[in-house]
Amino acid sequence: MANLALFLILWLPSVLVLAQPHDTVSTINQAQQEYQHGRYWLALDTLSQLDEQQADVQGLKGLIHYRMRHFESAETLLNTALKNHHVAKSSVPWLMALAEIHAQRGLIDEAKALYQRALLTSDNQALSLSIQLGQIALLPVSEQLPALNQLQPKLIALAKNVERSRLLLNMAAQAQRQGEPGLKLAYDSYQHVLTDASTQDTGLTAASLDGLAQLYENQQRYEEAYRLNQDGLAAALEAEDEPLLIMLEWRHGRLANTLQRRAEAISAYQNAIQHIAAIRKDIPVEYHNGRSSFRELLEPVYLGLADLLLQQARDSQSAQKTHLLKQARETVELIKLAELEDYLGGRCGVQSRQAELDHVLTATTAVVYPILLPERLELLVGNGAALEHVSVNVSAAELQQYSQTLREKLTQRQWRKFSISSAIAPLAHRTY
């Protein structure tokens, strides 16, 4: 979920709205606030009240579309804003966003040129350091950590304020991606933010605690990670930061499950899904090879909850067991419904008809509902109101390979020479 990316989208210099009528300034400021809190569609609605030919409006809309990963729309708006704008230094965030769009497409030389142009245009030290962090992300992996270490003293030398904290969060996130060699830099950077943000911004406090909790979870220091995560949750709730709450509640669920607190883990996963629903329409969605980025990024949250519900069902009696199995099925259905809404291109009223189907099944009809978890396959078998489940000890990767083999044989019209039973035979003995 884009919570510790470049932070360039949070840098909106005050010069952006200078020399504008009071109502225009007020409206742009309102849109900026909505944008910074991840309410992208609301920010676009706010900007629709203004003249769309104004460079400031075009630039901010471009940044919003960039954040929503509507790269083509963002690129058009940002380029138009640059052509129409006459205050060079306020265009720096637009150049940075364009650089990132080119980087996403693998156009590294073009991205470097845009960052360099932004650096030459900037007259603000903190903003220049933000540009340099973007440039470091384009370096070969082996060169990134040395460059980050070299830049750190310049960030620490800045006045303690929100901008410095955001830059340090950026540095910490980049260092964290370096694995073990980057741990010290990541830890130090998060600690600096924690000290700076304690009296300034609960959202930054929450972000630093989120980063530290992830560091400790990665090192399997689960109790320490749990405590940091709980502090982060309290700060994020105070800041009303829904995207960060998703990550913190998701980690809360993972850690509680690891610490064998299943009921607490289920509650945390349910909270994470509620936070996803709260900002569902603002979550950027892309498609790669037919798969939605929503599924790629957030499917583990839903499957994590479904897995816990299925485990709970296994230890429960009849009525409670059926209720838990239906909850698990409904949780997985939410992923499919979300993908269908995205595919249809709007927030259509897509609803599951599974509950209705349960009531119309005859006694001689059964419905098999597969739930594919990373390490096993769960088959829910429904007959009317009754619902049972069978576990198959096969990983998602193995099952995908079996399915791929079957598809290839059918596509090549070799089905007469190919026994489906032989393809699935290796799975048969795994049912328990």
Place of tokens 């800045």: 158
List the Cα angle 380/285/69 in 5-degree steps: 165
Query: What local confidence, expressed as pLDDT, does residue 141 receive?
Result: 94
The mean-pLDDT minimum among 18-32, 46-60, 85-99 falls in 18-32
Residue 31: what residue type? Answer: A
The contacts of residue 30 (CB under 8 Å, 6+ apart) are 46
- Report the b/e string of 67-104 with b at 16+ CB within 10 A: bbbbbeebbebbebbbeebeeeebbbbbbbbbbbbbbe
| pLDDT band at residue 405 using 50, 70 and 90 as cut-offs | confident
Q: CA-CA distance, 47 to 25, in Å (whole number)? A: 11
Which residues fall within 8 angstroms of residue 288, CB to CB, at 6 or more apart? 296
pLDDT bracket for residue 19 (50, 70, 90): very low
Comparing C-alpha atoms, which of 209, 325, 306, 320 is closest to residue 265?
306
Sketch the domain layout of the chain as residue ranges.
8-248
Helices (H) and strands (E) in the chain, counts: 19, 5
**pLDDT given at position 414:** 57
What pLDDT, on the 0 to 100 scale, is given for residue 67? 86
- The DSSP annotation for 152-179 comes to HHHHHTS-SSHHHHHHHHHHHHHHHTT-
CA nearest to 347, candidates 289, 272, 282, 296: 282
Residue 363: pLDDT band by 50, 70, 90 thresholds? low
Q: What is the pLDDT of residue 426?
A: 52
Strands 377-383 and 367-372: antiparallel
Q: Are 41 and 35 in contact, with CB atoms under 8 Å apart?
A: no
8-248 placed in CATH 1.25.40.10: yes
When pLDDT is cut at 50, 70 and 90, the band that residue 2 belongs to is: very low
Angle (CA) 93 95 100, round 5°: 95
What is d(CA 192, CA 166) in angstroms, rounded to the nearest whole number?
A: 11
Helix, strand or coil, per DSSP, at residue 98? helix
Query: Would the pLDDT of 135 be above 70?
Result: yes
- The DSSP bridge pattern shows strands 377-383 and 291-292 to be unpaired
Question: What token pair was written down for 142?
Answer: 């082996």
Which residue in 74, 75, 92, 2 sits closest to 38, CA to CA?
2
CA dist 172 and 396 (Å) reads 33
pLDDT for residue 123 is more than 90: no
Share of the chain above pLDDT 90, in %: 44
pTM above 0.85, yes or no: no
Burial (CB count <10 Å: 0-12, 13-18, 19+), residue 347: exposed
Dihedral, CA of residue 80, residue 83, residue 86 and residue 87, to nearest 10: 60
Q: How far apart are CA 216 and CA 220, in angstroms?
A: 6
Highest averaged pLDDT of the listed ranges 60-69, 80-89, 294-303: 60-69
Indicate if the pLDDT at residue 347 is higher than 50: no
Contacts of 401 (CB under 8 A, 6+ apart): none
Q: Who wins on pLDDT, 279 or 290?
A: 279
Contact yes or no for 30/46 (Cβ under 8 A): yes
Res. 287 pLDDT band, cuts 50 70 90: low
For position 359, what pLDDT does the model report?
A: 56
Task: Kindly tell me the burial class for residue 191, based on how many C-beta atoms sit within 10 Å of its own C-beta (0-12, 13-18, 19 or more).
Answer: middle
Write the single-letter amino acid at 244.
L
Q: How far is CA 275 from CA 114, 240, 248, 304, 335, in A?
A: 36, 10, 11, 15, 14
Q: Would you state the structure tokens that stand for residue 219, as one six-digit string?
A: 């090192």
Residue 253 has pLDDT above 90, yes or no: yes
pLDDT of 50 higher than 60: yes
Q: Which of 11-15, 183-187, 376-380 has the lowest mean pLDDT?
A: 11-15
Which of 89-98, 136-145, 213-222, 330-339 bottoms out in mean pLDDT, i.e. has the lowest? 330-339
* pLDDT band (50, 70, 90) for residue 7: very low
Q: Please report the pLDDT score of residue 10 as a whole number.
A: 39
- Residue 400: is its pLDDT beyond 90? no
Residues 394-414 have a mean pLDDT of 78
The string of DSSP letters for 241-288 reads -HHHHHHHHHHHHHHHHHTT-HHHHHHHHHHHHHHHHHTGGGS---EE
